[in-house]
Amino acid sequence: MLGSYRIVLLIVSVLTMWFTLHKIRQSKIKIEYSLFWIILSVMLVILSLFPQIASFVSEIIGFQSPVNFIFPFIIFLLLIKLFYNSLLLSMFEKKIEGLAQESSILEERVRKLEEEKRDDEKK
Number of residues near other proteins (by CB under 8 A): 14
Question: Among residue numbers 86 through 115, which ones bind other proteins (CB under 8 A)?
Answer: 90, 94, 96-97, 100-105, 107-108, 111, 115
Within 10 A of 20 (CB to CB), how many other CB atoms are there? 21
CA dist list (Å): 107 to 6, 36, 98, 116, 117: 60, 40, 14, 14, 15
Query: Among residue numbers 31 through 90, which ones bind other proteins (CB under 8 A)?
Result: 90
6 and 48 Cβ atoms separated by less than 8 Å = yes
Cβ 85 to other proteins, closest distance in Å? 17
Between 5 and 84, CB nearer to other proteins: 84
Q: Rounding to the nearest 10 degrees, give the CA dihedral for residues 19, 25, 30, 35.
A: 50
Minimum gap (Å) between residue 97 Cβ and other proteins? 5
Say if residues 14 and 38 touch (Cβ distance below 8 Å): no
Nearer to other proteins, 59 or 107 (CB): 107
Binding residues for other proteins (CB under 8 A): 90, 94, 96-97, 100-105, 107-108, 111, 115
